[in-house]
Amino acid sequence: MTDAAQEAPVETTVDGMAEEAESNSQPVGELNGLRWGLRVAGATLALIGAATLSVAHAANVGSSFHFLNGIVFLGMILMAWAFAAVSRRTHIGQERRYRDRLFMRSIQLQDMAMRDELTELFNRRFFFERLQQELAQASEFGHQLAVLMIDVDGLKKINDAFGHTVGDAALVSLAKLIVKCTRTADIAARLGGDEFGLIMPEATKRTALAVVERLSQALEVTPVYEPDGQALKLTVSVGISGFPWGGHTVDELMRRADTYLYAAKGARSGQADTQPALVGDGLAE
């Protein structure tokens, strides 16, 4: 079912952007320049003061000159302290801004690592990690949980007829329809190629079936691609599983959903093209 051209790994992109973020987020250039500038200014003030005292001592000038020189030297010290205070405040502000930028970039990279690059849905790894968490919570609190496996029918034919660019566009449109037809709490993911998964926390079999019906209606009226004015529509096959009626482990849930998915594909030959094939036990309960 998986078409190699629709597999878009994101790890390489994320790693490269992480290195770029790290290199761009370090305040090395600006802060080092500020530090060295203050050091040079301090050293210059010290040299001026020392030279002034040396000249005054050698010339054996009067006390009034020493008094004035002391005032000037005290002013230099106060100016140096002011520079130090300003530099510290500037340094803290720059560090804070760089930390905020790095934190936001880290969040962006974490989100990218969880996403499928093509459809922007969650990816396979995040799907199974989240399914394990949701299953544990459902088991602990006695909630129900539904899992849907959604597979595109005939993606290879679309790729062969229109090209992989159209196939990719169709998958992106389908991903948007899946999100539109699901609840806010549901977790939609692209598991690979033409296969999608949906986790529905605290959902009964009836709730899962309602989502499938909404997706069916959306696919009937919404073309996923319109090349040269021709409306291209997709059909999908769906397998439903859930906790506790479909199993108590991730493997059991996925195996049951996958079994019903393949059974749904086998049943498609007797259904209209615009209706998603659906197989599952007790869906009308």
**pLDDT tens digit string along 154-184?**
888 888 888 899 899 999 999 999 999 999 9
Residue 54 Cα to chain centre, angstroms: 65
* Distance separating alpha carbons of residues 93 and 101, to the nearest angstrom: 12
pLDDT at 59 (0 to 100): 61
Tell me which DSSP letter residue 258 carries. Answer: H
As beta bridge partners, residue 152 has 236
Q: 0.75 cut: is pTM over it?
A: no
123 has a pLDDT exceeding 90: yes
Q: How confident is the model at residue 268, as a pLDDT?
A: 63
Residue 194 tokens, joined: 């033409």
Average pLDDT over the chain reads 78
- Catalytic member of 3, 160, 194, 228: 194
CATH superfamily membership of 124-279: Reverse transcriptase/Diguanylate cyclase domain (3.30.70.270)
Contact 243, 145 (CB under 8 A): yes
**Domains in the chain: boundaries:** 11-114, 124-279
Confidence (pLDDT) at 52:
65
| Whether the predicted pLDDT of 29 surpasses 90 | no
H-helix or E-strand containing 188? strand 187-192
As a whole number of Å, the CA-based R_g of the chain is 33
Q: Quick one: angle between helices 164-181 and 155-162, nearest 10? A: 140
What per-residue confidence (pLDDT) applies to 195?
96
Classify residue 34 as left (phi > 0), alpha (psi -120 to 50) or beta.
alpha
Beginning with the edge strand found earlier in the chain, give each strand of the sheet holding 236-243 in spatial order: 187-192, 195-201, 145-152, 236-243, 277-279
Measured CA to CA, the distance from residue 257 to residue 29 in angstroms comes to 55
For residue 67, give the amino acid letter. Answer: F
Type of residue numbered 188: A
Nearest alpha-carbon partner for 110 in 199, 233, 14: 14
How far apart (Å, rounded) are the C-alpha atoms in residues 261 and 279?
A: 7
Render pLDDT for 179-206 as a digit per residue (tens, 0 to 9).
999 999 999 999 999 999 999 999 999 9
Question: Is 194 annotated in the active site?
Answer: yes
Quick one: what percent of the chain has pLDDT higher than 70? 66
Query: Mean of the pLDDT values across residues 98-118?
Result: 80
**Would you state the pLDDT for residue 57?**
61
Q: DSSP readout, 54-102?
A: HHHHHHT--HHHHHHHHHHHHHHHHHHHHHHHHHHHHHHHHHHHHHHHH
Identify any residues that bridge with 150 across adjacent strands, giving them in sequence order. 196, 238
16 has a pLDDT exceeding 60: no
Give residue for tokens 């060295």. 36
pLDDT at 53 exceeding the cut of 90:
no
Q: Which two structure tokens, joined as six digits, stand for 24?
A: 């761009």
